[in-house]
Structure 1
Amino acid sequence: MLSPGESNGADFGSRQLTKVVQQALHSCKSAFTSILLFSLVINLLMLTGSLFMLQIYDRVLPSKSVPTLIALTILIIVLYSFMGGLEFIRSRLLVRIGLRLDDKLSRISFKEWLSQSIKIGHSQKKLPLNDLKFLRQFLSGPGPVSLFDMPWVPIYLFIIFMFHFYLGLLATAGAIIVFSLALINEFSTKTKISDANIMDNEASAFANLAHRNAQSITAMGMQNNIESYWYEKHKKTLSLQTMASDKSGALTSVSKMFRMFLQSAVLAVGAWLAIEQEITPGTMIAASIIMGRALTPIDQAIGQWKGFVTARNSYKQLKLLFAQTPMQMQKLELPVPVAKLEVSELYVRLQPQNIALLENINFSLNPGQALGIIGASASGKSTLAKAIVGIVELSNGSIRIDGSTLNQWDMDELGKYLGYLPQNIELLNGTVKQNIARFDPSATDEEIVAAAKNAYVHDVIKSMPNGYETEIGEAGAFISGGQKQRVALARALFRDPKIIVLDEPNANLDSEGDIALTKAIKGIRERGNIAIVLTHRPSAIASVDMLLMIKDGRQSAFGPKDKVLKQVTQPKNKKIAGVK
């Protein structure tokens, strides 16, 4: 979380984080260097076939020497075997580069994607893990091979010039035409491929959202409408991809056809020069083979162009993702908090619209206190809850725990001392045990059971089909709304955090659940921790001692519960008395 005064540091952090992708690629520098050297040797060995043909026509056939033929054959077997081994190693190196890049970027991409998704007003349509997958697949495939072979095109052309000037001129003109086709391919498909990827991400994101809300969609007869809306996006994606593929395919076909014609043209010109006795028949055949080899990298590049453009766009998107998120600098490990919370002159605005969500919120809580936050819907209660747990950026003011602002804490470390029950509960696909333990593999059974008992949900979990090992399904689909809320409460109480924020904790609870919630809040206070409860229902604030009322994003009352309730209800009583 950043205060306004920290913008320069955030900009520096963003620049530092942007370099992560470049540094990841730089870490593969030695592997790329090895591939370049292997490509050098492989391309030298690619001349084996043409030189073998040259020797056959110019030496073996005129001399009719079988021993020479045998010696040359053995030599090319050795050279081709060596070349095959080098190509195998090169392909393995490319795969390892893709894996290394994934290892360097996958975790941080996932983390930064989550960071982006919690920003107020932020709509994350990009899927960085998909971008990383496209980049990895391109680097692990045949695409980079054509790029490494490309520098050899002028060398091959130079060799053809050494055979004869006319042959070199024809080959160079042909290479320029093929390369021009590649450039046309780039500029004619670049925009459509980029737009298709954006539309595909939007369609996928919408499909995932619809899948999560399948029950509501089915119950209200929205399936056809949702399907039609998704299909329109899907059709646009296919249309853009088809147009790009059609153009790319047409240019690839033209390039292939021209390349075949060019090789025949080289043979024709070579035959004419051989008739004129300016070159030998072997030179004619060798020039044709080398011509084909010179054009192969260009032809391959055209075939791989769509993958190259996708990988390039993915690289840009990853850099953009990191540029939007400040890098988390190494922070001093602060001592375990006693749990004193201070909120001072807190302002939160929705960006980029600059709409005020919270204005001038001030209160403080000591260990053992519980605060109830009340107010009408859309008054800003949930925004305040998110600000307290550090998932909403402040426009001004501060939130301090034991005197330290939230941005002085490492968020992973601070998370150990915070419990949060969001208004919209989404448990993760796994067991009850895993969800309560926050998917921490080091969690002990004792800690998990203790959290469940503190939430008074231990007996409820035992009544489930497999107890703590019960699978809850995606977003908790296999358990009821009340069970989901109570398991989420146990997750919030895992390892007895110092500050627990509960947003509408009794929205799905029955009377038994309400009683358990009241006991849980009392337990939080008895253990010397702070509870903050946001609610519309009076039963949820039965165990709190402090009350904060928010109206239209502003603090209208704060203090002991009885005093605030009297202050809030007094105007109504006066109004009623006036009517009488």
Structure 2
Amino acid sequence: MHSHQDHDVAAALKACRQHFLFALCFESCVNVLLLAYPIFMFQVYDRVIAAKSWETLVALLIGFTIAIAAKGIFQWVRGTLLIRASARIERRLADRVFKVVVRKSASGTGPANAQLLRDLDSFRQFVTGKGAMAALDMPWGFLFLGILFLLDPAIGITAGICIAVSAGATVANAILTKRALIKANVVGNASQQFSEAATRSAEAVVGLGMLNAVIGRWRNERNKAIQEQLIASGRGVVFSSFLGSARIFMQGGLMAVGVIQVINGEIPFGIVFASIFVFGFAMKPVDQLISAWEDYHPVKDAMRRIDTVLKQSPEPTTTLHLPRPAGTITCQDVTFVPPGSDRAVLKRISFGVRAGESLGLVGLNGSGKTTLARILTGSLRPTGGAVRIDGAELDQWSNHEFGRFVGYLPQSISLLPGTVAENIGRFGMYSDDEIIDAAKRARVHDVILRLPKGYETSLDDSSVLSGGQRQLIALARAIIGNPALVVLDEPNSNLDGPGEEALIACMHELKERGTTVILITHRPNLVMHLDHAAVLKEGTLVSFGSTTDVFKQLGRPTIVKKVGQARD
């Protein structure tokens, strides 16, 4: 099994070194064959025209055609190698990056957007596109300059000065625009994140009449980014205009020097035209460097972000496959302090529930219930203490295996784009029979059959389902596969009376199957159907025991009576 270092950015680039090496070889062939045109022109001027030889012209044309055809083939092979390098980087990093994005979003320790995936695309496209071409062609710029010196020292010196001026202008532009580009990238990301957050909260934004205010805030953030981009672009326009005019002047100057040498009898006239083309070849790496420079700093920042996140989120090295747990769960001194905060959301939480038993966890909003749910399902790691199932800490299972043993219905219902069946079956993890069985146990099978396409109804359009229907489908997804532990976080928040009855019946059936059920709610009425109850207050477990005893402590005799009735 690969260690997590094998998935870092440097390791991904190292894995593509053969692609880049062979691409360099074929690029060398391409650059050598570029000389076919100036050689052809020189021979035409100095031999064909002077001798008026048709045979020589035909021979030169045949050789020139073969050279250009070979150049095209070598360019195609070089491009294919870079495409395969891009695909290899994608295979080595994409799944890993996506997994980190999802995990960080689930744990609340990272952005809930795909910025890292956009970073990966930018990095991959740069290192196998503009960046690769600039690096592959750079040595050939010096070689073509050397050829100009061999053709004529005066022409070579003139070309060297022209290239030095272009390179100096590139460096000056980089220094002038670097800070503005970095700032524009940072501010632009902030604007993008705000727009994504506003989109996710669109219903509240429109319903509360906040649209104009939100647009004003977004416009303020965007204006800052645009301002920095305009500064950088303005400097770039000045640079591009200067270099465009300078390029024409350089070619004219080079031709003037060549003509002087012809007049002085130092070189034949054909060399002047050949030198113009070779000078263009020598300038190509500078042009590619200029083109790549605009993307370099954003890509460098993207690569740094990817590398940092991957190194901070190593892949688990567990190779031992533990057996399916019975469902006994224990929390021992579980404490959680959010990153960047000094305030504990959970404080030394300790309790235990035996396999097949049920626990109702109640508390006011902000008491830490959802945080505890995330810890119990492994999406959040405790800062201190440990959570164990059948004596083993959660990280001793891989996420894939653990997910088959544990069902989770989060407070925020999150069905993914796809069909109803795909969502319930966790996108291929379970069979059709298991999907239908889970829907029946969640009492949502008949509801699904009434949808336009039944189980094949697409959930891309959120208007297809009501909030209660979405919650019951999410419940079916949580209980599929007969899990050992099911954690339900506010599972009745969108349910009406019949829906709540279906939820209670489902929990009773889970208990009959021997599944451990943990119900998290701020409404105690559902807890009366469970074996145990616990009360959280400001992150502290203030009461734990049998449901009857806990509700006696809370002074709720009416509910205690209902508990007895529910159990009789």
Comparing 186-195 with 502-511, greater Cα deviation is found at: 186-195
Distance in 1 (CA, whole Å) between partners of 2:89 and 2:3 is: 20
Task: Verify: 1:488 aligned to 2:479, yes or no.
Answer: no
Deviation at 1:316, TM superposition (A): 2.1
- Of the structure 1 ranges 164-173 and 548-557, higher mean CA displacement relative to structure 2 is found in 164-173
In structure 2, what is the equivalent of residue 469 of structure 1? 456
Q: Residues 70 and 570 from structure 1, CA distance in 2 versus in 1: closer, same or farther, beyond 3 angstroms? A: closer
Judge which range, 23-32 or 197-206, deviates more: 197-206
Match of 2:384 in 1: 396
Paired amino acid for 1:547:
A
Distance 2:447 2:151 in 1: 87
Q: After superposition, what is the alpha-carbon deviation per residue over 1:456-505, rounded to whole angstroms, capped at 9, x for unaligned?
A: 2223323333332223335x442111111111111110111111111111
1:520 paired to 2:514: no
8 Å contact kept, 1:347–1:396: yes
Name 1:9's counterpart in structure 2. Answer: none
| CA shift in 2, pair 1:241/1:458, >3 Å | same
Residue 562 (str. 1) matches residue 548 (str. 2)? yes
Length, aligned pairs only:
558
Partner of 2:206: 218
For residue 485 of structure 2, what is the aligned residue in structure 1? 499
Aligned residue identity for 1:529:
T
Q: CA deviation at 1:119?
A: 3.0
> Matches of 2:308 and 2:176 in 1, distance apart?
24
Q: Relative to structure 1, is the Cα distance of residues 83 and 121 closer, same or farther in structure 2, using a 3 angstrom cutoff?
A: closer
Distance 2:505 2:340 in 1: 42
CA–CA separation in structure 1 for the residues paired with 2:214 and 2:2: 38
Question: Match for residue 49 of structure 2?
Answer: 61
Q: Which residue of 2 aligns with 1:295?
A: 283
- Give the whole-Å Cα distance in 1 for the aligned partners of 2:98 and 2:413: 21
Q: Secondary structure of 1:356's partner? A: coil
Q: In 2 relative to 1, CA 124–527 (structure 1 residues): closer, same or farther, beyond 3 Å? A: closer
From 437, 455, 461, the equivalent of 1:450 is 437
How has the CA–CA distance of structure 1 residues 189 and 478 changed in structure 2, closer, same or farther, with 3 Å as cutoff?
A: farther
Match status 1:537 vs 2:537: no
Structure 1 residue 81 corresponds to structure 2 residue 73: no
Counterpart in the other structure of 1:151: 139
Q: Is the 8 A contact 1:192 1:243 kept in 2?
A: yes
Q: Letter of the aligned partner of 1:453 in structure 2? A: K
Amino acid corresponding to residue 542 of structure 2 in structure 1: S
SS of alignment partner, residue 118 of structure 1:
helix
Cα offset for 1:54? 2.3
Counterpart in the other structure of 1:70: 58
Q: CA deviation at 1:326?
A: 2.4
Letter in 1 for 2:491: P
Q: 1:442 to 1:38 in 2, by over 3 A?
A: same
Report the aligned-residue RMSD. 2.3
- Counterpart CA distance in 2 for 1:399 and 1:565 is 26
Secondary structure (helix, strand or coil) at the match of 1:500 reads strand
Unpaired segments of 5 or more residues in structure 2? Answer: 559-568
Separation in 2, partners of 1:469, 1:325 = 36
- Mapping for residues 240-255 of structure 1, pairs under 5 Å: 240-255=228-243
1:541 maps to a residue whose letter is V
Query: Which shifted more, 450-459 or 186-195?
Result: 186-195
Contact 2:180 2:229 in 1 (8 A): yes
Aligned residue number for residue 325 of structure 1: 313
Aligned to 1:575: none
Q: Do residues 383 (structure 1) and 371 (structure 2) align?
A: yes
Matched residue type, 1:456: R
Quick one: percent identity of the two aligned structures?
Answer: 34
Offset from partner CA, 1:48-72 (integer Å, 9 cap, x none): 1222222233333333333222211
Residue aligning to 1:34: 22
Could you give the per-residue CA deviations for residues 239-287 of structure 1, whole angstroms, max 9, x where no partner exists?
Answer: 3333323322332232232222112111111111221112222222222
Q: Post-superposition shift, 1:135?
A: 2.4
Q: What is the rounded CA distance, in whole Å, between the counterparts of 2:335 and 2:267 in structure 1?
A: 84
The answer to whether residue 28 in structure 2 is matched with residue 45 in structure 1 is: no
In structure 2, relative to structure 1, the CA distance for the partners of 1:463 and 1:15 (3 Å cut) is closer
Give the alignment partner of residue 261 of structure 1, picking from 245, 249, 259. 249
Relative contact order higher in (CA < 8 Å, ≥ 6 apart) = 1
Match of 2:539 in 1: 553
* 1:395-430 CA distance string (max 9 Å, x none): 111111111011111121111111111112121122
Q: Give the superposition deviation at 1:40.
A: 0.8
Indicate conservation of the 8 Å contact 2:6/2:12, yes or no: no
Structure 1 stretch displaced more, 540-549 or 124-133? 124-133
The structural deviation recorded for 1:29 is 1.7
C-alpha distance in structure 2 between counterparts of 1:19 and 1:453, whole Å: 42
Classify the secondary structure of the residue corresponding to 1:34.
helix
Deviations 1:199-247 (A, max 9, x none): 3333333323322322222221112122222233333333333332332
Separation in structure 1 between the aligned mates of residue 3 and residue 431 of structure 2, nearest angstrom: 40
Structure 2 residue identity aligned to 1:405: E
Q: Deviations over 1:75-105 (max 9, x none)?
A: 1121111112212222232223222322222
Structure 1: runs of 5+ lacking an equivalent: 1-12, 573-580
Q: Which residue of 2 aligns with 1:362?
A: 350
Encode CA deviations 1:17-59: one digit per residue, 9 max, x unaligned: 4852222222222221111011111111111122222223333
Equivalent-residue separation in structure 1 for 2:360 and 2:397 (angstroms): 26
Shift of 1:139: 4.2
